[in-house]
A and B are shown apart, each in its own frame.
Chain A
Amino acid sequence: MRRWLKEPLLHFLLLGLAIFGAYRLLGPDEPPPSSIVVTEGIINGQIESFSRTWLRPPTPQEVNELIREYVREEVYYREGMALALDRDDTVIRRRLKQKLEFVAEAAGIAAEPTDEDLRAYLEQRRDAYQTDARLSFVHVFLSAERHGDALEQDAARVLGTLQSSNEAMDPAALGDPTLLERQFEDVPLRDVAAQFGDEFADRVAEVPVGRWQGPIESSYGMHLVLVGARKDRRAPELAEVRDALRRDWLNERRIAANEAYYQSLLQRYTVTIEGRGGKVLDGPAGGTVQ
């Protein structure tokens, strides 16, 4: 019993405890608080956001509230960052990635294309910018439901009437009621396809102009058509598609800038894949690992 009272280690521990206790009582109790400085610039930024949302400046009371809320957010933000809560947060990681992509894209789009750029771009993609084929036509509809087995026969008969008729006749009176529009004027062929189906559109694009033709089948029934005018697809002039070309050209630049940016960033890293035997699956990342 006495023996361990004489143990130097005990003396050492007691002494340490005493010094530590004295320091706690006499020394500074907390680390100094970090400072949050709300600058004029930050306040103006808050006011700007408010004004843009509400299309009026905030009242002094509202400014106070904006500042209070800014401080609250800043405190949480700093504490969250101190705890590294951002590190494994998918939303934050992807958001940051997206922000950097915007930077690269913004850098990539600054220069406007010249006419030569656009002409060269168009030259490489003539097909993609062809004008729509357009046509004007009227049609007489024969419902598959109403005519049943006689549909084809009736269609042939109506076609005969239409082709041989003089003026004294309303073509629509020969057909059945339908919600389809009856008459189309200078419509793009793709609109025809959207309303009648692709097969109908393909056929009506080819029938001779100026005389009743058909029958052409759609998924509704048979149609006899009179095509009045037709404009074929053709290669466009630069002026006709300038806006689309500019948009697509810039978009291409944007994507290229983003990729170039990523590649240049990647140069700064060595990437080691430890899992999967060091192999990377096929895809863009596959070629860039060093």
Chain B
Amino acid sequence: MKHVPISTRVIVFAVAAMAAAASTAAVAADSQVGVAGALDKQSAEKAFPAQKLYSPYAGRNFPTRPYFGDTHLHTSFSMDAGAFGARLTPRDAYVFAKGNEVKSSSGQPVKLSRPLDFLVVADHSDGMGFFPLIIGGSPEILADPQGRKWHEMVLGGEGAAAAIDIIQSFGKGTISKAIMPVPGTRAYQSAWDETIKAAEEANDPGRFTAFIGYEWTSNTGGNNLHRNVIFRDGATKAGVTVPYTTMQPLGSDNPADLWKWMAGFEEKTGGNVLAIAHNGNLSNGRMFPTVEAVGKPVDRAYAENRAKWERLYEVTQTKGDGEAHPYLSPNDEFANFETWDKGNLDGSAAKTKDMLEFEYARSALKNGLMLEQKLAVNPYKFGLVGSSDAHTGLAAMEEDNFFGKTAPQEPSPERMTAKFFDNPQTGVKIMDWEVSASGYAAVWATDNTREALFDAMERRETYATTGTRVIVRFFGGWEFEPQDAGNRLPAAIGYGKGVPMGGDLSAAPSGKSPTFLVAALKDPLGANLDRIQIVKGWLDAKGAVQEKVYDVVWGDADKRAPGADGKLPPVGSTVDVANATWTNTIGDPELITVWIDPSFDPKQRAFYYARVLEIPTPRWTAYDAKRFGIQPLPGTTLTLQERAYTSPIWYTPGR
């Protein structure tokens, strides 16, 4: 670590500026000087190009903290959620995500340990028209005696009586033609309008971001190809359209048609949308095709569209984890995590081993390299996020505060022993205890706004967590040196000398191997860190895909080192399952290192992503067993190592 003499004015600036709180420019000047002082002059100039900026903020426009949220939450507006008994609306979902206490569908009070930073309510909210706002008092309504009567009843506080009268009039066919709504017209207010309104109300730029979004629910044959569609824009743009559906002729169950719809929206409105593919572990081999996609060949057009519209992938959620599968990654002792590999979404078809390759993120990233070689475009160049897919209106994914996937799976003694679904014909059975308290999306954005978060998602500067709020930095470049890991401002040096997660490296300088600066800081309320790993995938000289997992830095480094087999011994466990407790007496709160790929070949395509593991902690099932006094069923998983997966950094050889 270098200690460089610092401008003598730093502390003067700090004290003077802060005491006089108005002088914000001076405070920022301090941070500029501080940055310059911590780097040597040369690298400082590299990090902050030498122009003289008037605005002291302008030189430091990289994200300083990740924002945590959920891109995939259902409320009672989703038909299936409502049928399961969800009562919370999009409004309630936002109120809850902001850190307020609400009453769950099962009547239990619930609150997050701390607020989320953003939320996408992604209901299947199409096709739900209901009665018009007759009471709104438009001129046509007021011109009609019946309309005027109801309008006045409402203003006079007799809203409920008016509603009954309206419904009875509909029933008897005595409603005036002048104010009678026609299906499909604007007179019908739709659930989509309500969804938009809820997001607009909840959106609070700088403090909390409420995205407008929906889930496109292609589920033909029970094979899950869902996509979550997110709008960068507000109501003025999102409100002119309605969610794309899956039924012909209006909609389609083919993702290629969804992309057409997305392109049409952008072209017509000048707005922006992106789609996040739902965890593919229940797609029965259809999420990441390499030969044929929904009856059409996987060709260059497919690759271009998929890469353009699906910049992110949901790698972990309540229906299991989709990073890696032990069958595909037999040498990865952490690959078997919250695995759901019995069948498809509704259990109507069982899983076979040959499907797995086309369902898990790591193998898709590998096959993407192979397809890029063939098609010149990589369709599977996606970043990673986690999200809940809860159908409760509650993004409550903490192990000690898990409110389940559906309303019947909210906390109760039954959920330790009940079946989630069971198809005797296919033998696909999933127990409630297998539902995973996961996950969240972490986004390195410059600000907590729709625009900044969306843009960060587009550049894939994101990572997935299984519910923890661990902070992870990951940079790749050609010039990182071991001492960079001791730098006081890892972010400044990371952005200065490399690209962040989701970025690209290409055309290796002669004789150089890629270097990576990777760091993680534990969740302030959570568990210490076991280790950081870097997962490398590449296309070898014969055109075959390969993978390797490297332990690059770990906790308790004074007590453990990789053995003869190259494997780092386990971190151990402090979990007291019976009492659902643990202690941070093992592992480290913070890990940082610089890693150089030891077996780099500049002619071979590759990707690298970081996986961060926490020390073992109690799983939600352990908390339930303790709190409800329930004996878990044999085979119930009761501890876990929460984790984070960063978006990859890709290496592409030069021409």
> Residues on A close to B: CB < 8 A?
41-42, 44-46, 48-50, 52-56, 62, 65-66, 69, 90-91, 94-95, 98-100, 102-104, 106-108, 110-111, 136-138, 143-145, 165, 167-173, 175, 177-183, 185-186, 188, 190, 193-198, 200, 209-210, 218-221, 226-229, 243, 247, 251, 257, 260-261, 264-265, 283
Min CB–CB distance A249 → chain B (angstroms): 12
- On whether the beta carbons of A220 and B250 are closer than 8 Å, the reply is no
Which residue, of A50, A143, A182, has the highest number of chain B Cβ atoms within 10 A? A182
Task: Answer whether residue B544 sits at the interface, using C-beta atoms and an 8 A cutoff.
Answer: no
Contact indicator per residue, chain B 14-32, by CB within 8 Å of chain A (1) or not (0): 1101110100100100110
Q: Is B487 an interface position by the 8 A CB rule?
A: yes
Chain B's closest residue to A73 (CB) is B247
- Complex Cα spacing A51 to B80, Å: 27
Contact flags B102-126 to A (C-beta < 8 A → 1, else 0)? 0000010000001100000000000
Which residues of chain B have C-beta atoms less than 8 A from A111's C-beta?
154-155, 157
**Inter-chain contacts of A227 with B (CB < 8 A):** 18
In the assembled complex, B366 has its CB within 8 A of some CB on chain A: no
Residue numbers in A under 8 Å from B85 (CB-CB):
94
Q: Are the C-beta atoms of B183 and A42 separated by less than 8 Å? A: yes
- How many B residues touch A, CB cutoff 8 Å? 98
Can you name 9 extra interface pairs (CB under 8 A) apart from A48-B185, A69-B249, A226-B14?
A49-B184, A56-B268, A91-B82, A103-B163, A110-B135, A167-B10, A173-B6, A182-B489, A226-B15
Contacting residue for A190 out of B14, B31, B37, B115, CB 8 A: B115
In the bound complex, residues from chain A placing their C-beta under 8 Å from that of B19 are 209-210, 228-229
Report chain B residues within 8 Å CB of A65: 249
Contact of B11 with A48 in the complex, beta carbons under 8 Å: no
Pick the interface stretch among B220-228, B307-315, B573-581, B584-592: B584-592
User: Is B185 a contact partner of A56 (Cβ separation < 8 A)?
Assistant: no
> How many Å lie between the Cα of A49 and that of B249 in the bound state?
11
| Segment of B237-245, B336-344, B602-610 engaged in the interface with chain A | B237-245
Point out the residue from A103, A182, A243 that lies within 8 Å of B131, measured CB to CB: A103
Ranked nearest first, the 8 interchain pairs of A and B with the lowest CB-CB distance are A228-B18, A45-B184, A170-B6, A107-B159, A229-B21, A55-B268, A110-B135, A260-B160
Q: Across the two chains, which residue of chain A brings its CB closest to B526?
A: A219
Q: Are B82 and A179 within 8 A (Cβ)?
A: no
Given A95-B79, A168-B8, A194-B524, A220:B590 Cβ within 8 A? yes
Given contacts A111-B154, A190-B99, whether A247 and B167 have CB atoms under 8 Å apart is no
With A55-B241, A172-B38, A220-B521 already in contact, the answer to whether A44 and B182 are too (CB < 8 A) is: yes
Q: Do residues A194 and B115 form an inter-chain contact, with CB atoms below 8 A?
A: yes
| CB contact between B244 and one of A41, A53, A98 (< 8 Å): that residue | A53
Contact with A along B560-587 (1 / 0, CB 8 A): 0000000000000000000000001000
A-B contact count (CB 8 A): 237
Contact B3 A219 (CB under 8 A): no
Determine the distance from Cα of A175 to Cα of B491 in the docked complex, in whole angstroms.
Answer: 17
Contact A177 B155 (CB under 8 A): no
Docked-complex contact A143 and B590, CB < 8 angstroms:
yes
Contact between B27 and A183, CB atoms less than 8 A apart:
yes
Given contacts A49-B242, A186-B21, contact A247 B201 (CB under 8 A): yes
**Contact call A173/B3, Cβ cutoff below 8 A:** yes
- Contact check, B182 vs A41: say whether CB atoms are below 8 A apart: yes
Majority secondary structure, B binding face: mixed
- Which of chain A's residues have a CB closer than 8 A to the CB of B251? 53
Contacts of B261 in A (CB 8 A): 53-54
Residues of B within 8 A of A171 (CB): 10-11, 14
The residue on B at minimum CB distance from A220 is B589
| B contact residues vs A (CB 8 Å cutoff) | 1, 3, 6-12, 14-15, 17-19, 21, 24, 27, 30-31, 34, 37-38, 64-65, 76, 79-80, 82-83, 85, 91, 99, 107, 114-115, 128, 130-131, 133, 135-137, 151, 154-155, 157, 159-164, 166-167, 182-186, 189, 191, 194, 201, 207, 240-242, 244-245, 248-251, 261, 264-265, 268-269, 469, 471, 473, 486-491, 519-522, 524-525, 584, 588-590, 592
Of B15, B130, B157, B490, the residue contacting A228 (CB under 8 A) is B15
In the complex, the chain B residue whose C-beta lies closest to that of A134 is B21
Identify the interface centre among B11, B27, B30: most chain A CB within 10 Å of its CB: B11
Contact A177 B486 (CB under 8 A): yes
Which of A44, A49, A91, A95 is most buried by chain B, counting CB atoms within 10 A of its CB?
Answer: A49
Name A136's contact: one of B18, B151, B201, B250 (CB within 8 Å).
B18
Question: A95: which B residues are within 8 A, CB to CB?
Answer: 79, 82-83, 128
- Measured between C-beta atoms, what is the minimum distance from A102 to chain B in Å? 4
B519 touches A179 (CB 8 A): yes
Bound CA–CA A57/B73 (angstroms) = 32
Contact partner, B6, options A169, A197, A228, Cβ 8 Å: A169
Smallest CB separation, A141 vs chain B (Å): 9
Smallest Cβ distance from A222 to chain B, in angstroms?
A: 12
Contact A106 B486 (CB under 8 A): no
Tell me which residues across on chain A come within 8 A of B244, comparing CB atoms: 53
Q: For the complex, give the distance between the alpha carbons of A210 and B288 in Å.
A: 58
Whether A106 and B265, one on each chain, are in contact in the complex, defined by CB atoms closer than 8 angstroms, is no
Does the CB pair B524–A106 fall under 8 Å?
A: no
Please, which residues of chain A bring their CB within 8 A of the CB of B491?
179
Q: Is the CB of A183 within 8 A of B31?
A: yes
Q: Which residues of B contact A198 (CB under 8 A)?
A: 525
A188 CB to closest chain B CB, in angstroms?
8
The reply to whether B18 and A178 contact each other, CB–CB distance below 8 Å, is: no
Assuming the contacts A55-B241, A181-B64, asked whether A170 and B34 have C-beta atoms less than 8 A apart, the reply is yes
User: What's the least CB distance linking A125 to chain B, in Å?
Assistant: 12
- List residues of chain B with CB within 8 A of the CB of A107: 135, 154, 159-160, 162-163, 166
29 pairs across A/B with beta carbons < 8 Å? A42-B183, A45-B182, A52-B240, A52-B241, A53-B245, A56-B268, A94-B85, A98-B76, A104-B160, A107-B159, A107-B163, A110-B151, A110-B154, A136-B18, A168-B8, A169-B6, A172-B34, A173-B3, A173-B6, A177-B488, A178-B590, A179-B473, A219-B525, A220-B589, A221-B589, A226-B15, A229-B18, A243-B201, A264-B164
